[in-house]
């Protein structure tokens, strides 16, 4: 039996607070998961959720999956109802998927207190439901809810649920750590015990972990090391409470650390792209620090060891970042030296190695600026502007120049707070004065600058400020502290870039970052903007 990478991003993962997929979103996520090469995509709960019913209907004609089998999720039949008469069972069949995943209670306390039925009836529900779907030609997986807690409380009852499902024809019975309280050593021990008690091979078992101990990935890996072949995960670990086991970390660990062929060839390097695209659809900012796929997953603060990292990257990365579609990044930091600045420039496609004097000037300026509180580690675009300004032949005219600006914030007697900015700039030989309002001083400045420039640069209309971060650098000087502002800009065409500004005045710091943002976008809009 090969590995079953079972994705439940669209069902269990959608339980995460704030996630709400449309049917179109679900179809797009399913396509991405298929491109990543998962074996099973659990698409939702038809019958219980109207959107999911619709998803399965459209999936029949609109999803053309290369790798994955679509799975519909549902519950075992209701207590005291014949399986053929249960409308939810009917809805699940109507989804017309090759495979179904049924959830069953496997903790006797939940059977009695939440389901309010008997242990015997619950076993009958499992047997009847599994047999029914098998008879209808479906592949059947059974999720044992609260498996580990139940097994700890009453191993005999919980095991009997597993046996009942297997005997009725379930392909795999999944041990769910629903409350998420497990640790790897306990997963290993429980599987060993269960396998011995039931006399079945661990390949008939599956694993589903929640991340409440921050061990969901490790618990899943431990189960696979114990012989389990079916594991349920969600993209980026999305899910209720602290989430589920992260599909990407689990797959990368199994494939790259344990050498297990869990994905089809060529799929692993889709990881970063698929992870970020799903985050985009879920409308959740990608986690910069996520293992394997985060933008900072292979980011090194350079400093003293930049040259060593350059020569021997393999000694400083636990895996080659390109295997999962990621890159190594060198952060330009307080400890910046020549080597890291050259390396960073090369990463941006700029050759400083051939211009040692320019490299010296850039290094000197970066050091001076960083001593004054500037930081380029999160502002590649400002760094690139700085490097380009020192490279021969690169010192092109800036798209506009500032004469002056004035910003005013008023809290009026009636309680209204209004912000207004006036900028005076020179654009292509012309002097332009523009005034605009905003919901704060920086927003007003941004608006005024756009008003001033839009006639000469209509493409500005597509630039949008996607993020604005403020950091006060010296906490010991009160409101007289130095302020660092980071601005992230997107251009509507999928490109984004980040710029920085530093000043004791938050408005002036923001102004620097805004000017860099527009300058960069206008100057290099045709080039490969990062």
Residues 92 to 121 in contact with a second copy, rule: CB under 8 A: 107, 109-110, 113-114
Judge whether 138 and 166 are in contact, CB under 8 Å: no
Please list every residue from 413 through 432 that binds a second copy, using CB under 8 A: 413, 417, 419
CB of 421 to a second copy, least distance (A): 9
15 belongs to the binding site for a second copy (CB under 8 A): yes
Taking the complex as a whole, the smallest distance from the CB of residue 128 to a second copy amounts, in Å, to 21
Q: Which is nearer to a second copy, 352 or 514 (CB)?
A: 514
Cα 490 to chain centroid distance, Å, stands at 18
The DSSP line for 314-330 is GGT-SS-GGGGT---EE
- Closer to a second copy by CB, 168 or 442: give it: 442
Q: Which is nearer to a second copy, 468 or 524 (CB)?
A: 468
Query: CA distances (Å), 140 to each of 33, 69, 92, in order?
Result: 21, 12, 12
Residue 322 C-beta: closest distance to a second copy, Å: 15
Q: What is the DSSP letter of 304?
A: G
Per CB under 8 A, the list member of 4, 290, 363, 382 interacting with a second copy is 290
Considering only 312, 351, 368, 437, the residue that binds a second copy (CB under 8 A) is 312
Decide if 407 contacts 420 (C-beta within 8 A): yes
Count of residues in contact with a second copy, rule CB under 8 A? 120
Q: Would you tell me the crossing angle of helices 87-94 and 119-135 to the nearest 10 degrees?
A: 30
> Which one of 1, 82, 189, 285 is in contact with a second copy (CB under 8 A)?
285
DSSP single-letter state for residue 287: -
By CB under 8 A, tell whether 433 contacts a second copy. no
Closest to a second copy by CB, 187 or 391: 187
Which residues, numbered 213-272, are part of the site for a second copy (CB under 8 A)? 213-215, 217-219, 221-222, 225, 240-243, 246, 249, 252-253, 257-258
CA angle 507, 384, 496 (to 5 degrees): 70
State yes or no: residue 140 binds a second copy (CB under 8 A).
no
Question: Site residues for a second copy, window 450-509 (CB under 8 A)?
Answer: 464-476, 478-481, 483, 487-488, 503-508
Q: Which phi and psi angles does 41 have, rounded to 5°?
A: -120, 110
Do the beta carbons of residue 328 and residue 313 sit within 8 Å?
A: yes
Does 353 participate in binding a second copy (rule CB under 8 A)?
no
Shorter beta-carbon distance to a second copy: residue 53 or 138? 53
Report yes or no: 269 and 325 within 8 Å, Cβ to Cβ. yes
**Cα–Cα distance measured from residue 38 to residue 14, given in angstroms and rounded to the nearest whole number:** 18
Tell whether residue 323 is a contact of a second copy (CB under 8 A).
no
Q: Which residue from 61, 315, 354, 393 is in contact with a second copy, where contact means CB under 8 A?
A: 315
Contact 384, 349 (CB under 8 A): no
Q: How far apart are the first and last CA of the chain?
A: 44
Residues between 158 and 187 that touch a second copy (CB under 8 A): 179-181, 183-185
Query: Which is nearest to 270 in space by CA: 252, 257, 287, 285?
Result: 252
Q: Give the DSSP letter of residue 254.
A: I
Q: 22 or 98, CB closer to a second copy?
A: 22
């Amino acid at each position: 039996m090969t590995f079953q990478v079972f994705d439940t991003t669209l069902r269990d993962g959608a339980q995460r607070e704030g996630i709400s997929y449309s049917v179109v979103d679900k179809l797009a996520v399913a396509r991405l998961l298929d491109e990543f090469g998962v074996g099973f995509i659990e698409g939702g709960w038809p019958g219980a959720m109207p959107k999911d019913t619709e998803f399965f209907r459209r999936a029949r004609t609109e999803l053309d999956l290369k790798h994955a089998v679509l799975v519909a999720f549902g519950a075992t039949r209701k207590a005291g109802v014949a399986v053929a008469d249960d409308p939810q069972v009917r809805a699940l069949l109507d989804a017309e998927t090759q495979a179904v995943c049924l959830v069953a209670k496997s903790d006797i306390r939940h059977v009695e207190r939440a389901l309010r039925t008997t242990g015997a009836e619950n076993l009958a529900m499992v047997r009847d439901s599994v047999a029914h779907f098998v008879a209808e030609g479906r592949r059947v997986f059974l999720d044992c809810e609260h498996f580990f807690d139940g097994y700890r409380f009453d191993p005999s009852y919980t095991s009997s649920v597993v046996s009942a499902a297997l005997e009725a024809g379930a392909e795999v019975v999944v041990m769910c750590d629903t409350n998420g309280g497990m640790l790897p050593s306990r997963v290993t021990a429980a599987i060993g015990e269960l396998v011995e008690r039931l006399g079945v091979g661990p390949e008939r078992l599956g694993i589903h972990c929640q991340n409440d101990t921050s061990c969901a990935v490790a618990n899943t890996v431990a189960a696979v090391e114990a012989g389990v072949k079916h594991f349920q995960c969600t993209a980026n670990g999305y899910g209720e409470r602290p989430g589920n086991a992260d599909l990407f970390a689990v797959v990368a660990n199994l494939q790259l650390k344990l050498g297990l062929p869990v994905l089809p060839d060529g799929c692993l390097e889709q990881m970063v792209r698929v992870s970020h695209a799903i985050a985009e659809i879920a409308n959740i900012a990608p986690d910069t620090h996520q293992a394997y796929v985060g933008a900072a997953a292979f980011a090194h603060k350079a400093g003293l060891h930049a040259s060593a990292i350059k020569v021997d990257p393999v000694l400083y990365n636990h895996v080659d970042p390109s295997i999962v579609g990621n890159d190594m990044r060198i952060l330009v930091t307080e400890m910046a030296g020549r080597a890291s600045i050259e390396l960073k420039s090369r990463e941006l496609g700029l050759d400083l190695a051939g211009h040692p004097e320019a490299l010296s000037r850039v290094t000197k300026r970066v050091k001076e600026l960083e001593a004054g509180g500037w930081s380029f580690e999160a502002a590649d675009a400002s760094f690139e502007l700085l490097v380009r300004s020192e490279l021969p032949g690169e010192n092109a005219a800036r798209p506009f120049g500032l004469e002056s600006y004035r910003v005013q914030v008023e809290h009026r007697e009636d309680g209204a707070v209004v912000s207004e900015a006036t900028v005076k700039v020179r654009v292509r030989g012309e002097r332009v004065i523009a005034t605009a309002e905003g919901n704060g001083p920086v927003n007003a400045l941004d608006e005024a600058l756009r008003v001033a420039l839009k006639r000469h640069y209509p493409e500005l209309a597509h630039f949008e400020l996607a993020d604005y971060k403020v950091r006060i650098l010296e906490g010991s000087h009160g409101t007289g502290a130095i302020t660092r502002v980071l601005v992230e800009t997107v251009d509507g065409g999928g490109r984004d870039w980040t710029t920085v500004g530093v000043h004791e005045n938050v408005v002036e710091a923001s102004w620097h970052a805004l000017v860099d943002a527009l300058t960069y976008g206008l100057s290099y809009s045709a080039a490969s903007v990062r």
